Amino acid sequence: MTDPSPPWSGVDRSRRLSLRYFNLFRLLLAGVFVVGGLHFGLGQEQSLAFDVAAIAYLAGVLALGFPDAVRRLGLQRVILLQIIVDVVALSVIMWASGGYRSGIPVLMMVVLAGTGLVAEGRMVLFFAALSTLAVLLENAWRFASGGQPGDFLQVGIFCTGFFGIAIVSRRLALRAQDNASLAAERGEALRRQQAVNERIIRDMHDGVIVVGADGRAVQLNPQAAALLGVEHIEGRLLAEIDPVFEEALTRGNGLAPRLLRLGPAGRLMRCRAVCGEAGSAAAGETLIYLTDFEDVQRQLQQLKLAALGRLTASMAHEIRNPLSAVTQAAELLRDEKRGEMQARLARIINDNALRIERMIRDVLALGRREHALPEALPLAAFAAEVIDGRVLMDEAERAIYRIDIDPATTLAIDRAHLHQILDNLLGNARRYCSGLPGSVALIAETLAGERVALHVRDDGPGLDEATRAHLFEPFFTTHAKGTGLGLYIARELAEANDATLELHPEGPGADFVLTGRSTP
């Protein structure tokens, strides 16, 4: 019973192709010997031996060249028998055709070169030695029959060539096999990576559409079709699905995401188009990312409601203390007859009422962050204006503040927002500074990418690590009369203007850094 397994199982593709072409060469060579060998001047000395060798060679090539021979005998045995048949048949043909001058040793070299591509290990050297032995024996027989001694030199050159060609062809075959193995490993790694990428794209929440240069959808993930509410998008013009796509594609690469209503249902989505880089495989194609902004809005709304609940609970807790103080002071004021005590109680009522008013004012500022109107404000002049509003006509107080800002430096930010941010930072710096001239400094520096950093620095004791960790949290304060919302509101207003407010990690005192664009 024959083995049903494929005859080439376990054999790499390059070796199979080499053996296939090698067998075709053998078949062609044997056919030439049988059909036209005598016309090419072969077999002139021993025509009968030549005919027998040529026919036997053709039969051997046909018998060993079919896959059935590999299945029955095994690949290594078939290769061994094929090379032995080649060497024996060519040696007999060389003997019958006048020796090495017939050119048969050149064909032996070709056979050895092919052997190096299909054989393994030291078998190539064995075949080279077998060919050398056959040629030497033939030449020795011819010399014993009256040949010239000089023929051995030329035969030796042929035999040396046998070994050289066998070794070089084997080295080339090994290198080709190594390259094929490496290519197969990398191909498998690439296949696995592509499978992972396809799974990620298929399962991601955003829609992804690859658009060709003609505006047709080349590829997309299921989420894109679900967001647009259209089936069978691949191969269609996106402008036919929604004309808004044409505008998104023609505006080019590198733009910020835009909010668009796309698809038959007019769903609000954030659309971002990225063009393929020139010279790459994706040149001329555009990658469109679609994000369900309605879902994002629902999530933001839930976060806002949760934050509002926490803020309301915190405000109720924070307002309870000053409200209790106001109520108690009002009750005592009604019964108090002394003028000094009445003035003190009235002051307590006024201070706590102002504290409640500041807290409500700061909370209301959160609502104004959504209405930022950035403009390029000259920092030096604006900072001087804020300081003037704080010191009024007190020159000694004015000397505490030092402005080190280039008059040409600007910051793109809403005017009212910057005033509130600076007023809060300057108030904190003045509270904790030494009070000496120049103890509160306002310094601006220009950064890369048209960014500007404004430092509000004081020479106070600074902040410990525990305070730094909670500094921007709402209702966290180290001041007895503070609401704990100042820095929190300041950072929220900065973010509303595409800016950042941070505490610099270095310095003996506090150094707050407001960083934003120089132009809108």
pLDDT above 80: residue 177: no
User: Which pLDDT value is given to residue 222?
Assistant: 84
Q: Residue 252: left (phi > 0), alpha (psi -120 to 50), or beta?
A: left
In percent, how much of the chain has pLDDT > 90? 6
d(CA 33, CA 233): 63
Residue 138 has pLDDT above 80, yes or no: no
Going by pLDDT thresholds of 50, 70 and 90, the confidence category of residue 309 is low
Task: Work out whether strand 440-447 and strand 401-404 pair parallel, antiparallel, or are unpaired.
Answer: parallel
Round to whole Å and give the CA distance between 420 and 440. Answer: 17
Cβ-contact 87, 159 below 8 angstroms: no
**CATH label, 316-370, candidates 1.10.540, 2.60.120, 2.40.50, 1.10.287:** 1.10.287
- How does residue 108 score in pLDDT terms, banded at 50, 70 and 90? confident
In the chain, where the domains are located: 13-182, 204-296, 316-370, 373-517
Helix (H), strand (E) at residue 356: helix 339-368
Lowest mean pLDDT among 13-22, 144-153, 194-203, 446-455: 144-153
Residue 468, Cβ neighbours under 10 Å: how many?
Answer: 13
Do residues 402 and 461 make contact, with C-beta atoms less than 8 angstroms apart? Answer: no
d(CA 40, CA 29): 13
C-beta atoms surrounding 157 within 10 Å: 11
- Position 169, amino acid: S
> How far apart, in whole angstroms, are the C-alpha atoms of residue 269 and residue 288?
12
Class of domain 204-296: alpha beta
Residue 248 has pLDDT above 80, yes or no: no
- 370 or 383: which carries more pLDDT confidence? 383
316-370 and 373-517, same CATH topology: no
Asked if 242 and 253 touch (Cβ cutoff 8 Å), the reply is no
pLDDT beyond 60 at 185 = yes
- The conformation of residue 482, written as its DSSP 8-state character, comes to -
Q: Locate the DSSP E strands across 347-450.
A: 375-378, 401-404, 410-413, 440-447
> pLDDT tens digits, residue range 397-408?
889 999 999 999
Residue written as tokens 């959808």? 217
Residue 94's pLDDT is what?
A: 83
pLDDT at 9 over 60: no
Query: CA–CA separation, 64 vs 452, rounded Å?
Result: 82
pLDDT exceeds 80 at position 15: no
> What is the value of pTM for the model shown?
0.41
- Asked if 454 contacts 409 with a C-beta cutoff of 8 angstroms, the reply is no
CATH homologous superfamily for 373-517?
Histidine kinase-like ATPase, C-terminal domain (3.30.565.10)
User: Does the structure show a pLDDT above 70 at 337?
Assistant: no
User: Would you state the pLDDT for residue 2?
Assistant: 43
